[in-house]
Structure 1
Amino acid sequence: MSTAARTGPRRERARAATIAEIKDTARALMRESGTVDVRFSDIARAMEMTPPALYRYFADRDDLLSALIADAFDDLARAVAQARDSVPADDLPARWVAAARGYRGWARREPQQFALIFGLPLPGYSAPEDGPTTEAAQRAMAQLAALFGEAIRHGILTPPTLRDVDPALELCAVAKGEDLGGVLPPETFQAMLHAWNSVHGFTCLEAYGHYDWMEPAAREAFFLSQVRLAALNAGLPAP
């Protein structure tokens, strides 16, 4: 093998390692500061680099933020999938609870990443349309959508509590269905969104301290009742 052939992969590995270090440093700074805003100058200082050197790896701060947001969605997707798949495939009620717990647990472990993807928009940042952040968000949502597909395949999904679907949402179900792993019936697509909203709403309120007045045992019981209610309304077998 020629020297040039060996040097190419080595440079690629070094570049990938530096990109990973930049992102890890940005996340560490977010955890230390308790915010999701990060500056190139702070990252460069922590890595003992010059700020201009970072532009060899990311075009600008927005480019870095997009990469961090995509990573966060992918990390969330893995957490939900791992929690869901830790339960036998034939126990769909328990898989739903496990997925919901995976979602909540990730938010509690990664408050800055949770805020990065679900908090207030960062000033001056605009995510690229149909870019890596959108694709990663779809992969994360597909982990929850998979449960509804499983319920349909096993013939155990009953009609949701609310069956009326506005035509605009019907179009959305068709347009977005393939991105989530397959087109669902409009009423099921709507029910899936309601179920996610229920879990996400609890998770957000808890993440921002609005349930701190509850004792941990009461909070856990309330979470499980919320998850059970979401399943019942969506037509999933009750946990």
Structure 2
Amino acid sequence: MSPNPRSAPRRERARAATIDEIKQTALALMRERGTVEVRFTDIARVMDMTPPALYRYFADRDELVSALIKDAYEGLGEAVAKARAEAPPGDIAAAWVAAGQAYRRWAHEEPQQFALILGMPLPDYAAPPDGSTSEAAGRAMAQLSSLFVEALHQGRLGPPRIREVHPAVELCARIKHEQHEVAVGPAHFQAMMHAWAALHGFTSLEANGHFAWMDPEARDALFLGQLRLAAEAAGLPVPA
């Protein structure tokens, strides 16, 4: 008797649905507990499965965490890309503000995912050797770095405030250029890293409650000032 040609796709859909349920259950447990720890025993209990059954879908905890990390970076990248697309075409300053606001908003809406990818490293976690999590991170962060390339192509990328570049940073710039074709020089690569550090630093402090003593309007104003300051220091068009 010949096999049903529809059975394999059906099994694949069922497997994909179970994998998605495992990941969503892990995220729900993280949100419930306010942590990024993942335990197969807890996931299995919620899903009414035995812990060994989960190993049919993920080889170990690290493989599950890697899948969650990739999903988180994809979510962040999509949020920033959507915000950028809604900015007026060619308006680098507006796109920078939109991207920064989306980064901050996503951190507020997805605190566990934000902590998983941009917080303290998970104890005993080893990233996959195939580099898939690094590639996902690169795609997400490209939503920010590509603003510099776009500004360069428009002739609107001015000199950064800090132009001296340490040889070690120059080496990092060359490596990134070879890996991702970052089409800006070392000084602007350094400025790009400074801009991300400024954006992430504010977002991380706020996400961890360190600005809770300020009312929301004051935090919004402070954040916009941070984006303006970062743009000015980096040579990007400065938002109004």
- For normalisation by structure 1, the TM-score amounts to 0.96
Give the distance between the partners of 1:95 and 1:120, measured in 2 at CA.
Answer: 29
Contact 2:161/2:234, CA 8 A, preserved across alignment:
yes
| Deviations 1:131-165, CA, capped at 9 Å, x for gaps | 22111111111110110010001000000000111
Give runs of aligned pairs for residues 165-176 of structure 1, distance below 5 A.
165-176=165-176
2:32 alignment partner in structure 1: 32
Give runs of aligned pairs for residues 41-56 of structure 1, distance below 5 A.
41-56=41-56
| Deviations 1:94-134, CA, capped at 9 Å, x for gaps | 00000000100000000000111112222211212452211
Give the distance between the partners of 2:130 and 2:12, measured in 1 at CA.
Answer: 26
Contact 1:151/1:157, CA 8 A, preserved across alignment:
yes
Give the distance between the partners of 1:94 and 1:156, measured in 2 at CA.
Answer: 13
Pairing 1:226–2:226 present: yes
Contact 1:146/1:181, CA 8 A, preserved across alignment:
no
The sequence identity of aligned pairs, in percent, is: 64
Which runs of no fewer than 5 residues in structure 2 stay unpaired?
none
Give the distance between the partners of 1:143 and 1:179, measured in 2 at CA.
Answer: 16
Q: Give the letter for the 2:229 counterpart.
A: L
Q: Which segment drifts farther, 172-181 or 150-159? A: 172-181
2:4 aligns to what SS in structure 1?
Answer: helix
- The list of structure 1 runs, each at least 4 consecutive aligned residues, that deviate by more than 3 angstroms after superposition, is 178-181
Contact 2:145/2:192, CA 8 A, preserved across alignment:
yes
1:84 alignment partner in structure 2: 84
- Offset, 1:88: 1.8
Contact 2:169/2:186, CA 8 A, preserved across alignment:
yes
Q: How many residues align?
A: 238
- For normalisation by structure 2, the TM-score amounts to 0.96
1:57 aligns to what SS in structure 2?
Answer: coil
Which runs of no fewer than 5 residues in structure 1 stay unpaired?
none
Give runs of aligned pairs for residues 114-193 of structure 1, distance below 5 A.
114-193=114-193
- Offset, 1:10: 1.0
1:210 alignment partner in structure 2: 210
Give the distance between the partners of 1:194 and 1:180, measured in 2 at CA.
Answer: 19
Contact 1:173/1:183, CA 8 A, preserved across alignment:
no
Contact 2:76/2:140, CA 8 A, preserved across alignment:
yes
Q: 1:31 to 1:102 in 2, by over 3 A?
A: same
Q: Which segment drifts farther, 153-162 or 183-192? A: 183-192
Give the distance between the partners of 1:142 and 1:179, measured in 2 at CA.
Answer: 12
Q: 1:168 to 1:93 in 2, by over 3 A?
A: same
Contact 2:195/2:231, CA 8 A, preserved across alignment:
yes
Q: Give the letter for the 1:163 counterpart.
A: R
Q: Give the letter for the 1:24 counterpart.
A: Q
Pairing 1:100–2:109 present: no
